[in-house]
Every structure is written in C-alpha cells, then in structure tokens.
Structure 1
Amino acid sequence: MPIRWIRWLVLGVITAATFATVPTGPASADPVDDIPGGLESFYHQQLDWGSCNDAVLDGAGAQCAGVVVPLDYNRPDSRTLTVAISRLPATDPARRHGVMLSNPGGPGGPGLGMMVDLRDRLTPEVRARYDLIGMDPRGIGRSDPVNCALPLPTMLFSAGFDAFGFARDTALAAALAASCVAPDPEKARQITTRNTARDMDIIRSAFGERRLNYYGGSYGTYLGAVYSQMFPQRTDRMVLDSAMDPDRYWIGTYQDMGAVNEAGLDDWANWAARRDADYHFGSSGPQVRAFVEDMIRRAATHPVVGNGYLIDEHTVPMMLLALLSNPQKNADLAEVVRLVADGVSGLPVDLEQLKTKISGGVPMNASGMAAVLCGDRAAPRDPAWYRRNIESVRATQPVFGAFANNITACAFWPDPIEEITAVHNSAPALILQATGDTRTPYQQGLALHEDLTGSRMVTLADTRVHGVLRADLSRCVNETVNTYFRDGTLPDADITCRPDPGSLPDH
C-alpha cells in the first residue's frame, strides 16, 4: 500500500466513537469455593498499591496496582498478563458495601481513570459504600497492550462512493489485521471479552469480595452482561448504560448505527437551520442535510491533506458520527462542518482545531478494539458481502450506510478461540437507554432487557444521547441509579425519565 495512503488515513479520524486510601490485604481464600482448576494462585494474590504516576488519578487520591492474570485461561501455568487497576476507596469504611468495577466502552477504551469522572455523578451516600475501581482491560492502555504495527487511530472508516474507495478500505483492513496478529499471534487472539470477564472475577477475589458491583457504558454493557452469564452467583448491583444487544454484537451493532445516525443528522440539521444566520448551511432541515451531503461529495474530489491529516469521503462521515452522540455538542458539530466545508472549498483550515473538536473524551485504542471485536466474533470473509450491504442502503443511508456496513480488519483475523456468549439469565441489573441513542439504538437496550430477566429499564425519552448517566442531564435518571447503588433497590417496574429543563439545546 502506498505510504501516502497510510499517512492520509491515519489522520484525524476519531470515532468516537467512551479517580487517603484504605489498605487492602490479600484474599486468603476465594470467598466462593468453585475456583477453576489451576487458578488458585491468581485468585489468592495480594495487590501491591502505589502511585498511579498520572496527574489526574494521583490528584484525586487514587492508587494503582497490577493484577496478574493468565494470558490463556486454558493454560494458566504458561504466559501471564498484568491488568492495571485504580482505586478510589470508600469514604466511610464502616458502611462499605464492596467494590464497584467499571468499563467506559469501546472496546478499546482505557478505563483506569474512569472513576474520577464517574464519582461526581454519585451521591455522598454511594461514595461512602464503594471502592471505585477503574481498569484498563487486557490488551489496552497499561494492561500489556496490543500494539499493531500499522498505527491507525481507528479501525472504522466509511467506504466512500465507488469501487476504488472500497478497495482501498479493504486493503487497509487486511494490512491492519496482519500488523496486529503477526507480531504475537498467541497474545492477539487472547484479547477477548470472555477473558476480560475472567480477569474481572480475579479482581473481585483479590479484593476478598463475594460479589462484584459494576458500572459499564456502551460496550461495557456487553462486558457486564457476559460477566453475569459466566459468573451468575458473583454479580451484585450492576448498572448498564446505553446497552448493546448481545445477539447483534458486534456486526449488527454497527449496522444498526446507520439508520439512527441518519435520524440524528436530521435532528441536528433542524437545529442548525434555526440558526442559519450564524452558520449559513440552510434555513430548513433538508437544506442543511443537502449542504452536508454535498460537502462529503466535494471532499471526495477535493481532499484536504496536511500535517498527517486527511479530510475526504472516508473520514468526514466519521467526524460527524463523533459528535452526533450528544446534542450538547451541536455547536461543536456546526463548527466542524464549517471547517470541513471551508477546507474542501479551498479555504485555509486549522486541522489541529478540527482534531480537538472531534476527539472523544475516552480515546479509543484501535489495536485493542480490533483484537476484542475480531477475537469475540468471526466476521464474513468475502469483501463482496460488505459491498452488497453498502449498496443496498445507499438510498436510505446516504451519509452513514457506507460506514455502518463497511469491511474491517475482522474479515482478515484468525477465527475466535471460543464461541460467542449467549446471554440469558436473571441477574439483577439497571439498564439505562435513551430513545435517540446514535451508538447503541434503543431497541438494543430493549433486547438486553429481555435477555436479563431480572433487570429493570430506565428510558430517557426524546433524547439523542449516548451515555445517559450525566451530571447535567436528568435528575430522574441520576436519582434512580444512586438509589440502586445505595440500597440495592431496583424500581418496581420500568420507568421513563426526561431531560431536565435547560439541559439540552432548545428545539
């Protein structure tokens, strides 16, 4: 592949898509007796706490440790990995309920610092009861990361408009897969959700806990659901925010993102049209959409390249996708559209400003994302399958269909080491889902709710947002979550919440 293609594609596509200590002694014996064979030393290990060597974590009073886990759980006497975790201890040890582990999503999101942010959404009563635990999952961040030789910021691109563009993405996907697997095939194939769930159970035991409490967002909901299926007697209070349907993970999840992001674009276009005096994209929603679609076509014929960055038909839809997941970012999205439109029209454009606008709060690790997704579920091998799917939705999904159905590195990855997890159990859980979620559509939350028969669902109505538990969005949601974490009390029935007045841009 020409070096200039790699340099162009590496650029500025950010998908976004994403914590005084209490001593913890060793768990002298696993509180639950059925330790899998050969894993006793892992379950009984002592954690060595120290500085996190991170300004935010250290400033928050967190400490960090490494948890040793088997690379291959079928061969626990062979290679090991070290999973990095952080801890913000319960503020009232006398009322401590246990540990609350977390995952920010992705997959590919490092979560070591997640609890520094999440704790601000928890009441003092909840903070008193839990050690808040952040974790970089295996293969990501500080946890013995997979490092693909091809340094792409994302494994996800839009296929563009023609056969040449699709062929370019196919070649890039194949090159990415080879660069991830070839350096260490054994390690690359063991970075999976099921193995991360096993790591979580070792973490639980290392704290001497009988059960695990958990908060997961986006992909983190799938990880939590898999843990509840594999370790049903060891789950306690679980909150699953913006849930994935386990039956559609992961190919179906991306396919479902096409239609909901088209709807999200229409919602944003109507907002921008009411501000035509500011942005000059058009005075009606259809006019704004037409402006955006024409901008992408111009990006195909007049790409912008500079400082290792690329603006073209493959990357622009991903820039839009990064900001459509939160209506509070409407103005940022308008600025991105203006920057891109100016750039493809030949005007000077500040590419560093563009990168700042589209970068997510939790940077995704493309190598870790590829390893987890491709290691969890086999993808179709035939490129023609993807091309047919792309063409079948062009009319109804003109902006996002070529992303939602595009080929990825998984088409060239080795077969998974295990079958995908079928989730169906009665573990209690609180599922949070917005009706207009552009990353994990509402029907996916409904599907997980059916799979987890002991769950309750909180619907955030009439809201285009991914990530429902936010400090400034819905008091109804936050009170429900905090009541559950405080008392272990799920609502008697599913409930519907709404955003607080003034929390979203006016419509």
Structure 2
Amino acid sequence: MTYRRLTTAALAVLTTAATLVAPAAASAGHSTLSWQPCEANAQLECSTVDVPLDYRKSYGRSIELAISRLASKNPEKRRGILLTNPGGPGGAGLTFPATLKLPQSVLDTYDVIGVDPRGVGRSTPVTCDLTKEQQLEGLAAPWADGPADVAERAVEVKKIADQCRTSETAWMLPHVTTANTARDLDRIRQALGEKKLSFLGFSYGTYLGSVYTTLFPYRSDRIVVDSNLGPEGYGFREARLTGQGIEKRFPDFAKWLAARQDEWAMGATPKQVRAKYFQLVEKLGEHPVPGLSQQDFRLLTVSFLRKDRDFAALAAVWRTADRGDPFDAGPAVDLDNLISSHFHVACADGYWPKSVAAYQRAVETDRKRYPIMGASTAGIRPCAFWPAHLIEPRVEIGDRGPSNVLVVHNQRDPNTPLSLAKELRAAFGHRAVLVTADQGGHGAYLTGTNTCLNDTVTTYLTTGQRPQRDLDCPRPLGG
C-alpha cells in the first residue's frame, strides 16, 4: 500500500489533564512582570519570562516563555495562581485560560495562568523544517497493512528525525523536555511573586503537572490532573494503548448513532454501526472521496470520539464517505511548530524501540487486537531514530510530598485509557486520590454532564477539600 497524506482538517482535529496543604498567600507577592493586553485574546493580559535553556547552566543562554493571565477580580477570595496546560506535547496554552470556561468560584480563587511551553508557539519555538507533506502525515503513523508498509514508513520518519537534528533550532533539542518545562513553571511562579502554585493540566499536561509536583512538592498547592498519561509520560507503550482506548470508547458513539437510524441511516444497532465503520474504510480504500482518504476517515473518527458533542459532526463525516460527496478539508494551516515540538518532547521523554522489526511485530499484533486503529497507533515514528543526547534521566513519579494531588479520569477515554490513571494514582501513593466518571471522552472536568466529578474538582480547587478515598462517580440519571 502507498501511504496516503492526511488532510489538514484531519490532522488539526487529531492534534489539540481535604489536604494538608499550608495556606497560600491571599494576595500576590512582588511580581517582576509587566502585563499588556494580549493580542491572542482580548480577555487576557500577556507577558514574557526569560528562563535558562539549560538549568545546569543558570547563567548561560536563555529562552523566552510567553504567558497569559486571567486575573481574579475578587481580592477577598483570591488564593493564588492556577497554572494550566491543555495537553500535547506541543500544545500551545497561551489562550487556554479564556477557553476553559471555569466556574466563577474558581476564577475568583485564582489568577489563571496560560503558558506556551518552551519550544511552542509564541515562546522561543523549535522547528524540524517539515515540508507540507510531512506536516500532513503528521503525528499519527499511517495505517500499515503489513511489514513492508512499516519499513517504507521508517525511511520517511528517519528523514524527519534527521531534519530535527540539523534544523536551525537544533541547539534547543536536548533541552526541550518535560523536566525542563516543569522547571519553567517554577520560574514563572517566582516571577509572579508567589510562594506556591496550583495546577490544572489535561492529557500530556497531567504528566507535566506530575513532574512539577515531584520536582517541587512543597511549592505545589492544589494539583489537578485530568485524562492522565500515567507516570512514564508519552512513549511507545502509551501510543499503543490509544488503540485500546478507542475500542472501549467506540461503543458510546455506536449506541448514539444507532439510536438515530432514521436521521443518519448507519445501522439500527451498535453492532451494525461498527460493521458500517469497516465497510466505509474498505470503500474509501477502493474509491477515496475528494478531500477524504481512508486514513483521513480513520483519524477523523478517532478525533471526534473525544467529545460527545462532536458525535453529530462525526456522523456527517460518515455520511459524506457513504455518499461519496467531496469533503471540505478546510484551509491549509502551518503545523510545523506543533508537530516539531511534539517530537522534541515525546521522543526525549518516552521509551521508543530502535528496531524497525519491533514496530512491525507490534503492528501485526495490534491490527488484530484493536482493529479500529491498532495498525496506526502501533506504527513507527521519528522517535525510533531520535538523536541520543539526553542530559538527564526521566523524572520518577513518587509519593514524596504533601497529599495534594487529584487524579481525574473518564472510564472510557479514547486517548488515555483508565489503566494509565490507575498507574499514576499508584505511583503517587498517599499523595493522590483518584476520581473517575462513568462517561466517555478525553477530558473529564467540565466537558461532560457528570456533576459528581465536576463538583468534586471545583470544590477541591476552591476549598482544598478532596474525597477521603478514591471515588467512582456514576452516570447521572438520564445521562
């Protein structure tokens, strides 16, 4: 098979987480920052912070971080700062405080801080000089029909790794890691004049928050991690587990679509809807729709499984594929920095086999085990050929520090299966409590209708009160 390029639309959707804590200051301490209206979002103020490129050489070369602030307007209730991260790695977070739609009680309690992490967006950015075709192939390994496809793809991803190693920002390569990004968060805390910081992170942001509170346990106030990667960050094992998460999430969509057979005509039962998926995959393989390849269809299906609110949009994609209508891929978007920064962090942090044969074996296994997307999620990536000049070992998440971590997760998360949240909970030991919700999707807090989970997180952020033990939040009546 020849690997088909991804449409910009497919890639864009694929790529967008009671304690014994000492009270933080009721108002901000001395800040060294100057705030200006934020061009990216009128609700926010923006500033920059200089941080060391290499924390082993604090007075050496520096890079710039772009940060934003949604300031509390209630000085009597203000507790401190809440740093946020939307996920990634490679996700820009500058405008995230304005898009989170936090409850007013949380907005009163904190100045909510957004950050473009090192290497990303308006912070000092990295590049791998990716061509448009390489960008369209993107973060997801294309579906492989057999070992030859994996070998063919290996040639392409090695080129990407080589480009990252020789790009104009290659000087940043060893230093764009989660550990250094966590150290950056602490420099932001210092620049804001705060003794401690609270944190709310999603997806990859859960690993960032976990590393931060491991490195700086007594600078951590209230830590909430939602849709968790697990204690080892993002590597080959976590990528493969996405195939499992998709299989557990897909029945939610199949049930939804079957209940709307009169509108969409994709199957009257969940079993029929699942069969329809594979029929459409086969059809697109033989007769691609203009603007919608077989690979695009797979990725859009997976991407729209992240939120229940996207089910209707996904059904429309299926109908387009079924009818053979042209698909509007949307305007071209430059994704070089997003994808390049993702590789910089994921390849440095995680474990990735160096043998092409290891990926060939994994693809053969996962195609059968996770037929919706397994031969893609197990595929080879540039990390297999990443330059080996790590400057420090991976941070080991452990139980040293105060009991101030709230681990939040949906039971049917397509991107980060629940097993990863349980691993993170175990790694933190007494420090953490796990709250799960009987709902699907990637992102639990404020994204679904489970008031038990939403109220638990809001209560913790605003009062510091957590459940005394792990909590399973049932599906709401009628939900």
- Decide: shared fold, TM above 0.5: yes
Partner of 2:256: 271
Which stretches in structure 1 are left out of the alignment for 5+ residues? 28-45
In structure 2, what residue type is equivalent to 1:473? T
Deviation at 1:157, TM superposition (A): 2.5
State yes or no: 1:432 paired with 2:408.
Answer: yes
Match of 1:398 in 2: 371
Deviation at 1:440, TM superposition (A): 1.2
- Partner of residue 51, structure 1: 37
Report runs of 4+ in structure 1 exceeding 4 Å deviation: 23-27, 499-502
Amino acid at match of 2:193: G
Q: Which residue of 2 aligns with 1:139?
A: 119
Residues 304 and 314 of structure 2 are in contact (CA less than 8 Å); yes or no, is this contact kept in structure 1?
yes
Partner of 2:358: 385
Deviates more, 1:397-406 or 1:167-176: 167-176
Question: Aligned runs of 1:334-349 on 2, under 5 Å?
Answer: 334-342=315-323, 347-349=324-326
C-alpha contact 1:69 1:82 (8 A) present in aligned 2: yes
The match for 1:421 is 395
Once the two structures are superposed, residues 420-457 of structure 1 have per-residue CA deviations (whole angstroms, 9 ceiling, x without a partner) of 11101244111111111111111111111111222112
Secondary structure at 2:440 match in 1: coil
Q: CA deviation at 1:171?
A: 2.6
1:74 aligns with 2:56: yes
> Partner residue of 1:244?
229
Once the two structures are superposed, the pairs formed by residues 271-350 of structure 1 within 5 Å of their partners are 271-304=256-289, 306=291, 311-312=293-294, 314-342=295-323, 347-350=324-327
Shift of 1:335: 1.1
State how far apart, in whole Å, the 1-side matches of 2:53 and 2:181 are: 10
Code of the residue aligned with 2:393 in structure 1: it is E
2:171 pairs with 1:171:
no
3-state SS of the aligned residue for 2:369? Answer: coil
Cα distance change, pair 472–391 in 1 and its aligned pair in 2 (3 A): closer
Describe the shift of the 1:149–1:304 C-alpha distance in structure 2 as closer, same or farther (beyond 3 A): farther
Counterpart check, 1:228 vs 2:213:
yes
Post-superposition offset of 1:401: 0.7
Give distance in 1, aligned partners of 2:244 and 2:337: 23
SS of alignment partner, residue 352 of structure 1: coil
Moved more, 218-227 or 391-400: 391-400
Deviation at 1:418, TM superposition (A): 2.1
1:468 corresponding residue in structure 2: 444
Partner of 2:103: 122
Alignment deviations for residues 104-140 of structure 1 (CA, whole Å, 9 cap, x no partner): 011111111111122x33233x322211101110111
More moved, 195-204 vs 174-183 = 174-183
Contact 1:469/1:478, CA 8 A, preserved across alignment:
yes
**Counterpart-to-counterpart distance in 2, 1:291 and 1:378:** 36
Out of 8, 14, 17, the residue aligned to residue 16 of structure 1 is: 14
**CA distance in structure 1 between the partners assigned to 2:367 and 2:469 by the alignment:** 40
Task: Determine if contact 1:140/1:368 at 8 Å carries over to the other structure.
Answer: yes
- Quote how far apart the aligned CAs of 1:219 are: 0.7
Code of the aligned partner of 2:394: I
The 8 Å contact of residues 139 and 191 in structure 1, kept in 2 or not, is answered as yes
Q: Does 1:86 align with 2:63?
A: no
**Structure 2 unaligned residues grouped into runs of 5+:** 17-26
Q: How many residues align?
A: 457
Aligned counterpart for 2:87 among listed residues 88, 93, 105: 105
Structure 2 counterpart SS, 1:194: helix
Matched residue SS, 1:260: helix
Task: State the match for 1:368 in structure 2.
Answer: 341
Rate the CA distance shift 1:467–1:364 in 2: closer, same or farther, 3 A: farther
Task: Quote the Cα distance in structure 2 between the aligned partners of 1:277 and 1:396.
Answer: 32
Using the aligned pairs only, state the percent identity: 33
Which residue type is aligned with residue 161 of structure 1? D
TM-score (norm 1): 0.84
1:352 to 329, 340, 352: 329
SS of 2:228 mapped into structure 1: coil
Give the match's secondary structure for 1:496. Answer: strand
One-letter amino acid of the structure 2 residue matched with residue 251 of structure 1: F
Does the aligned pair in 1 maintain the 2:201–2:224 contact within 8 Å?
yes
Q: Is the 8 A contact 2:142 2:379 kept in 1?
A: yes
CA shift at 1:261, angstroms?
Answer: 0.6
Q: Does the 8 Å contact 1:26/1:47 carry over to 2?
A: no
5 Å-filtered alignment, 1:191-230, equals 191-230=176-215
| Alpha-carbon spacing, 1:490–1:149, altered in 2? closer, same or farther (3 Å) | same
Shift of 1:317: 2.0
Displacement of 1:394 after TM fit?
2.0
* Cα distance in 1 between the residues matched to 2:261 and 2:110: 49
Asked whether the equivalents of residues 24 and 47 of structure 1 are also in contact (C-alpha less than 8 Å), the reply is no
Q: Matched residues in 1 for 2:386 and 2:273: separation?
A: 40
Q: Is the 8 A contact 2:126 2:337 kept in 1?
A: no
Q: Which range is displaced more, 395-404 or 406-415?
A: 395-404
2:21 equivalent in structure 1: none
Give the C-alpha shift of residue 190 in structure 1: 1.4
**Partners of 2:117 and 2:423 in 1: how far apart?**
25
Separation in 2, partners of 1:266, 1:179? 40
Quick check: 1:407 aligned with 2:403?
Answer: no
Superposed displacement of residue 399, structure 1:
1.9
- Asked if the contact 2:413–2:441 (Cα under 8 Å) also holds between the matched residues in 1, the reply is yes
Alpha-carbon distance in structure 2 between the residues aligned to 1:315 and 1:165: 17
Tell me how far 1:175 sits from its aligned partner: 2.2
Superimposed CA distance per residue, residues 363-411 of structure 1 (whole angstroms, 9 cap, x where no aligned partner): 9911111111012134211111101011012222122111221111111
Q: Does 2:416 match 1:456? A: no
Conserved in 1, the CA contact under 8 Å of 2:120 and 2:126?
Answer: yes
Q: Residue 390 of structure 1 contacts residue 406 of structure 1 at CA under 8 Å; is this kept in 2?
A: yes
1:162 pairs with one of 122, 125, 146 = 146
What TM-score results when the alignment is normalised by the length of structure 2?
A: 0.88
Task: State the Cα RMSD in Å.
Answer: 2.6
Alpha-carbon distance, 1:164 to partner: 4.5
CA deviations 1:429-486 (Å, max 9, x no partner) are: 111111111111111111111112221121102x112111116522222221121111
Structure 1 residues 159 and 396: CA distance shift in structure 2, 3 A:
same
Structure-2 change in CA distance of 1:437 and 1:176 (3 Å): same
Q: Is the 8 A contact 1:155 1:366 kept in 2?
A: yes
For residues 336 and 198 of structure 2, what CA distance do their matches in structure 1 show? 25
Q: Output the amino acid matched with 1:112.
A: L
